[in-house]
């Protein structure tokens, strides 16, 4: 049990260690922690986007910037990976995350959703929802609400000891996310809110978060309705719509996200913009408006956990979710961090010193060599007349290979199903013929023309680039080949289908021979190598001259790399390294023979580069 004294407003604004039996409530103007006014000086850092070994360090940086609260999304798909089976270790361990936040002197806002957008794989939904008949996500649909209920009950039970009334740091739990941008079915949101009320009983305040223009559409009776975006427009909209309770900007944007092929978003060095953020935040606090910075630390879309936006084509999110945040992707403070610390320090009586962090490390010339062809390491296929989508194969992420034995000659334009999902590399007898990429709008994608002879093998390697996380298309997000594959007007029937989730890569099959002279006709090749470091530490891997693929170090999936940028450097956490015998595995999707040396560097490069596979 801790004892607290409140010596006036300044101390009340400071972060306080929550005590057993604490409470968090609100009246018309203020949040009240144990009955005393409390302004949420928050920032977001998603537990699942940060290696758990680095949580402590980054939470200490949050507190030392003047934050008293950390917000985090909860990605349902990563925890309930199979229906009714829950993975709670590693960076999924929200109980440990909340305890560490509490130890660091931070309250916690849990953004549960279960739809949370977040530029995350399908906005946080598990891909297996696609396999349930009549499923309509984000709607008053019995199939959907049955799954949200069991998920929320499980989550609520798990985190109950960490809720404010039970001595934990969790003060708020978010219901849905920006629903007002999507629809306005209050039957659905009320049903969902009722599930939250019965699942989360530890005294955390339930709230919604909507754009100021969509506040009423997203608000739920008897649930605190908050806004995101602007610290000025939000309170204005709340006042206009007669919303009760204190103001909070649930997402104050420092910068913005990065999408593959689009310019890098950053305000590092932009002193004017940084000064305006300082002023915004000070003005908000002076007006008793709470906020949470989106992001305080963005982190990384490790593995295949990135989402995608949709324009007239797929806009997949990069592996880095740096987000131009005050604490960069590697957990190091930027100029924005120091500027915000200066501004927010004015609202805290006990600002800790900025913590130390070990320097990034360089690793020069990691020796990687072609080890085996992907096509020599395929699992046992399923055979079917017509290709089925990835989810029907009980596969959620990664790649699916569709193989066809040609028995009758056929030639003409290839149509790989009703739409390229999401990026299909086409091979005949193991030689690359072209790439049909949904990065380009339908009608502008590469036209791959084939001339198939009896005895040829046609391969379609389909990559799931990340399910769409925002907008009306989230209703159904199936991947792989969907619908008939045709060459000219001939439907190809009779396929061997191989699932390649590649969560931790693939082992070299015994007897597989190493590729010789690598050329641009080659099918995908796994490269391997080992390396030592004098002191394990964080680094960014660079792969100059490589086109596209995936990197694993010691079995950890670092995510996708892609020459088109803007990301050219890939975060490798020091926590994943040993001093000796580190193993690196790289899936080189598009070998060329001009791959450069792989290096670990301390400073990242951002650059948009031409797409070698542009139509
Ligand atoms: C809310 O509570 C605080 C702290 O007791 C108080 O200063 C404030 O006036 C209250 N607001 C309203 C509208 O009652
Ligand atoms: C919250 O805690 C304060 C301080 O201990 C106490 O005075 C108040 O009654 C509590 N409020 C609720 C709603 O439990
Ligand atoms: C989590 O547990 C699984 C199953 O025991 C194990 O394979 C995996 O390595 C663990 N992950 C972490 C990060 O500890
Ligand atoms: C799905 O919807 C159809 C048409 O409304 C209905 O006939 C069928 O019984 C439903 N299936 C399930 C599993 O609810
Ligand atoms: C300050 O808060 C009030 C009360 O909620 C709100 O009406 C007003 O728009 C806010 N002003 C600014 C500048 O944010
Ligand atoms: C902010 O809240 C405090 C405590 O409730 C109150 O005294 C003060 O008048 C409020 N300021 C504004 C601008 O609303
Ligand atoms: C989609 O295409 C239309 C018509 O070319 C264009 O006006 C619009 O800006 C495009 N939208 C996006 C998001 O690219
Ligand atoms: C913090 O407060 C001091 C003293 O009022 C003021 O001079 C300074 O500008 C404030 N810092 C920021 C970043 O607003
Ligand atoms: C890493 O390499 C760069 C470029 O050669 C050099 O400037 C920097 O000092 C090195 N950093 C460390 C920590 O070795
Ligand atoms: C593909 O063919 C269609 C139909 O002939 C044509 O309109 C389109 O421009 C072609 N696309 C490319 C990238 O050449
Ligand atoms: C394709 O040919 C391979 C090699 O002969 C054979 O193992 C496989 O069963 C054939 N697949 C189909 C769908 O006919
Ligand atoms: C790396 O970044 C740091 C911090 O921004 C900077 O001081 C240093 O000069 C950079 N080093 C190189 C080699 O670019």
219 Rama sector, left if φ>0, alpha if ψ -120 to 50, beta otherwise: beta
H helix or E strand, kind and range, residue 99: helix 94-103
Choose one of 500, 534, 562: the last residue of a domain: 500
Quote the ligand 5 centre to 206 CA distance (angstroms).
Answer: 22
In terms of domains, do 86 and 122 share one?
yes
User: Where are the strands (E) in 138-223, listed by range?
Assistant: 170-175, 205-210
Q: Which ligand has the nearest atom to the CA of 262?
A: 7
Of 14-28, 94-108, 495-509, 541-555, the range with the lowest mean pLDDT is 14-28
CATH of the domain at 419: 2.60.120.260
pLDDT band at 2 (very low <50, low <70, confident <90, very high): very low
Token pair for residue 465? 């680039």
* Ligand 1 and 99: CB distance under 6 A: no
- Within a domain: residue 236? yes
Cβ contact 480:322 at 8 Å: no
Quote the ligand 9 centre to 576 CA distance (angstroms).
Answer: 21
Among 2, 30, 34, the mutation site with the greatest number of ligand 2 atoms within 8 A of its Cβ is 34
Cis previous bond, 329, omega within 30: no
Quote the ligand 5 centre to 277 CA distance (angstroms).
Answer: 17
In terms of domains, do 485 and 530 share one?
no
Q: Which ligand has the nearest atom to the CA of 387?
A: 11
- Within a domain: residue 433? yes
* Ligand 8 and 346: CB distance under 6 A: yes
3 state SS of 217: helix
pLDDT of 251 strictly over 80: yes
Contacts of 513 (CB under 8 A, 6+ apart): 372, 376
* Ligand 2 and 25: CB distance under 6 A: yes
In terms of domains, do 271 and 214 share one?
yes
d(CA 515, CA 533): 28
Minimal CA–CA distance to 298: which of 267, 269, 256? 256
Q: What is the mean pLDDT of residues 289-316?
A: 98
Number of other residues whose CB lies within 10 A of the CB of residue 266: 17
Tell me how long the chain is: 615
Strand-pair category, 308-310 with 410-416: unpaired
pLDDT at 15: 45
In terms of domains, do 587 and 494 share one?
no
In terms of domains, do 331 and 420 share one?
no
Among 22, 35, 164, 171, the mutation site with the greatest number of ligand 2 atoms within 8 A of its Cβ is 35
Counting from 1 in the atom list of ligand 5, the atom nearest the Cα of 29 is 5
- Within a domain: residue 513? no
Quote the ligand 9 centre to 361 CA distance (angstroms).
Answer: 8
In terms of domains, do 54 and 190 share one?
yes
- Within a domain: residue 23? no
pLDDT at 49: 98
Contacts of 603 (CB under 8 A, 6+ apart): 360, 540
In terms of domains, do 315 and 403 share one?
no
Token pair for residue 42? 């928050």
Cis previous bond, 494, omega within 30: no
Question: What are the tens digits of pLDDT across the range 193-247?
Answer: 999 999 999 999 999 999 999 999 999 999 999 999 999 999 999 999 999 999 9
* Ligand 1 and 9: CB distance under 6 A: no
Question: What are the tens digits of pLDDT across the range 443-480?
Answer: 999 999 999 999 999 999 999 999 999 999 999 899 99
Cβ contact 341:65 at 8 Å: yes
* Ligand 6 and 103: CB distance under 6 A: no
pLDDT at 314: 97
Of 7-11, 215-219, 254-258, the range with the lowest mean pLDDT is 7-11
Provide the 8-state DSSP code for 177: S
pLDDT at 20: 63
pLDDT at 13: 41
Minimal CA–CA distance to 593: which of 541, 521, 509, 537? 521
Contacts of 7 (CB under 8 A, 6+ apart): none
Quote the ligand 12 centre to 533 CA distance (angstroms).
Answer: 21
Strand-pair category, 31-33 with 36-38: antiparallel
pLDDT band at 294 (very low <50, low <70, confident <90, very high): very high
Cβ contact 574:539 at 8 Å: yes
Number of other residues whose CB lies within 10 A of the CB of residue 280: 18
Among 343, 344, 348, 349, the mutation site with the greatest number of ligand 8 atoms within 8 A of its Cβ is 343
Quote the ligand 9 centre to 602 CA distance (angstroms).
Answer: 7
d(CA 527, CA 505): 11
d(CA 552, CA 568): 16
* Ligand 8 and 32: CB distance under 6 A: no
Q: How many domains in the chain?
A: 3
Pocket of ligand 4 (CB under 6 A): 133-134
Among 447, 450, 611, 615, the mutation site with the greatest number of ligand 10 atoms within 8 A of its Cβ is 447
Question: What are the tens digits of pLDDT across the range 333-352?
Answer: 999 999 999 999 999 999 99
pLDDT at 21: 78
Question: What are the tens digits of pLDDT across the range 118-133?
Answer: 999 999 999 999 999 9
3 state SS of 526: strand
Find the angle CA(106)-CA(107)-CA(109) to the nearest 5 degrees.
Answer: 130
Domain of residue 469, residue span: 378-500
pLDDT at 14: 41
Higher model confidence: residue 9 or residue 363?
363
d(CA 144, CA 41): 34
pLDDT at 72: 99
Contacts of 144 (CB under 8 A, 6+ apart): 129, 135, 136, 137, 138
In terms of domains, do 224 and 262 share one?
yes
Residue with token string 């260690």: 17
- Within a domain: residue 457? yes
pLDDT of 12 strictly over 50: no
Token pair for residue 194? 């009722």
Ligand 6, atom 14: closest residue by C-alpha: 287
pLDDT of 5 strictly over 50: no
User: In the chain, what is the greatest distance between 2 CA atoms, to the nearest angstrom?
Assistant: 85
Ligand 2, atom 9: closest residue by C-alpha: 35
H helix or E strand, kind and range, residue 424: strand 423-428
Q: Which ligand has the nearest atom to the CA of 27?
A: 1
Q: What is the mean pLDDT of residues 159-184?
A: 98
* Ligand 8 and 343: CB distance under 6 A: yes
- Within a domain: residue 17? no
CA atoms within 13 A on the CB side of 568: 17
Minimal CA–CA distance to 84: which of 116, 136, 126? 126
**What average pLDDT does the chain have?**
95
Question: What are the tens digits of pLDDT across the range 381-422?
Answer: 999 999 999 999 999 999 999 999 999 999 999 999 999 999
* Ligand 3 and 89: CB distance under 6 A: yes
d(CA 586, CA 108): 37
Residue with token string 């910075």: 293
d(CA 322, CA 533): 25
Q: What's the alpha-carbon Rg for the chain, to the nearest Å?
A: 25
Choose one of 433, 468, 500: the last residue of a domain: 500
In terms of domains, do 241 and 97 share one?
yes
Q: Which residues are catalytic?
A: 178, 251
Cα 176 to chain centroid, rounded: 17
pLDDT band at 3 (very low <50, low <70, confident <90, very high): very low
In terms of domains, do 206 and 300 share one?
yes
CATH of the domain at 159: 3.20.20.80
Provide the 8-state DSSP code for 492: P
In terms of domains, do 493 and 525 share one?
no
Contacts of 276 (CB under 8 A, 6+ apart): none
d(CA 416, CA 402): 10
- Within a domain: residue 255? yes
> What angle do the packed helices 271-286 and 335-344 form, to 10 degrees?
30
d(CA 87, CA 78): 7
**Cα torsion angle, 330, 335, 336, 340, sign:** positive
- Within a domain: residue 289? yes
In terms of domains, do 421 and 339 share one?
no
Quote the ligand 2 centre to 19 CA distance (angstroms).
Answer: 12
Q: What is the mean pLDDT of residues 287-312?
A: 98
pLDDT of 19 strictly over 80: no
């Amino acid at each position: 049990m801790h004892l607290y004294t409140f010596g006036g407003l300044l101390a009340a604004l400071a972060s306080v260690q929550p005590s057993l039996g604490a409470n968090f409530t609100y009246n018309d103007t203020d949040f009240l922690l144990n009955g005393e006014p409390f302004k949420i000086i928050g920032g977001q850092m998603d537990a699942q986007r940060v290696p758990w070994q680095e949580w402590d360090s980054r939470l200490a940086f949050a507190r030392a910037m003047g934050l008293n609260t950390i917000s985090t999304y909860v990605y349902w798909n990563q925890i309930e990976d199979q229906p009714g089976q829950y993975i709670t270790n590693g960076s999924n361990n929200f109980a440990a995350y909340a305890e560490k936040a509490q130890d660091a002197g931070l309250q916690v806002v849990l953004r549960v959703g279960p739809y949370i957008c977040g530029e995350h794989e399908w906005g946080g939904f598990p891909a297996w929802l696609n396999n349930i008949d009549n499923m309509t996500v984000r709607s008053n649909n019995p199939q959907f609400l049955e799954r949200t209920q069991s998920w929320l009950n499980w989550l609520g039970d798990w985190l109950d000891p960490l809720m404010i009334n039970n001595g934990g740091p969790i003060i708020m739990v978010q219901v849905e996310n920006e629903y007002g941008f999507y629809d306005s079915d209050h039957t659905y949101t009320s049903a969902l809110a009722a599930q939250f009320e019965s699942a989360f009983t530890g005294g955390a305040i339930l709230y919604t978060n909507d754009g100021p223009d969509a506040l009423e559409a997203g608000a739920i009776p008897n649930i605190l309705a908050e806004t995101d975006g602007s610290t000025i427009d939000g309170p204005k909209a709340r006042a206009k719509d007669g919303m009760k309770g204190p103001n909070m900007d649930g997402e104050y944007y420092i910068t913005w996200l990065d999408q593959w092929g689009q310019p890098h978003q950053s305000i590092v060095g932009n002193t004017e913009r940084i000064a305006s953020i300082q002023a915004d935040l000070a003005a908000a606090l002076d007006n008793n408006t709470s906020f949470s910075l989106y992001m305080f630390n963005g982190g990384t879309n490790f593995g295949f956990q990135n989402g995608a936006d949709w324009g007239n084509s797929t806009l997949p999110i990069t592996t880095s979710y740096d987000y131009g945040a005050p604490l960069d992707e590697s957990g190091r403070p930027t100029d924005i961090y120091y500027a915000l610390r200066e501004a927010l320090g004015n609202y805290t009586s006990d600002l800790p010193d900025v913590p130390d962090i070990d320097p990034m490390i360089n690793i020069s010339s990691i020796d990687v060599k072609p080890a085996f062809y992907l096509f020599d390491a395929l699992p046992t296929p399923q055979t079917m007349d017509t290709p089925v989508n990835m989810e029907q194969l009980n596969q959620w992420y990664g790649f699916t290979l569709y193989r066809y034995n040609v028995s009758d000659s056929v030639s003409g334009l290839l149509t790989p199903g009703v739409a390229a999902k999401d990026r299909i590399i086409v091979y005949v007898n193991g030689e690359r013929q072209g790439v049909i990429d949904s990065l380009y709008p339908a009608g502008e994608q590469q036209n791959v023309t084939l001339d198939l002879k009896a005895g040829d093998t046609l391969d379609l390697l389909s990559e799931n680039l990340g399910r769409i996380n925002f907008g009306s298309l989230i209703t159904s997000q199936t991947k792989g080949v969907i619908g008939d594959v045709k060459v000219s007007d001939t439907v190809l029937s009779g396929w061997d289908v191989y699932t390649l989730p590649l969560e931790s890569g693939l082992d070299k099959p015994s007897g597989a021979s190493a590729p010789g002279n690598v050329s641009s006709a080659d099918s995908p090749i796994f490269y391997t190598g080992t390396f030592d470091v004098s002191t394990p530490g964080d680094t960014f891997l660079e792969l100059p001259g490589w086109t596209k693929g995936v990197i694993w170090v010691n079995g950890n999936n670092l995510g996708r790399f892609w020459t088109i940028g803007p990301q050219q450097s890939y975060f490798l956490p020091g926590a994943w390294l040993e001093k000796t015998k580190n193993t690196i595995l790289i899936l080189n999707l598009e070998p060329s023979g001009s791959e450069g040396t792989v290096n670990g560097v301390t400073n990242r490069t951002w650059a948009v580069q031409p797409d070698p596979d542009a139509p």
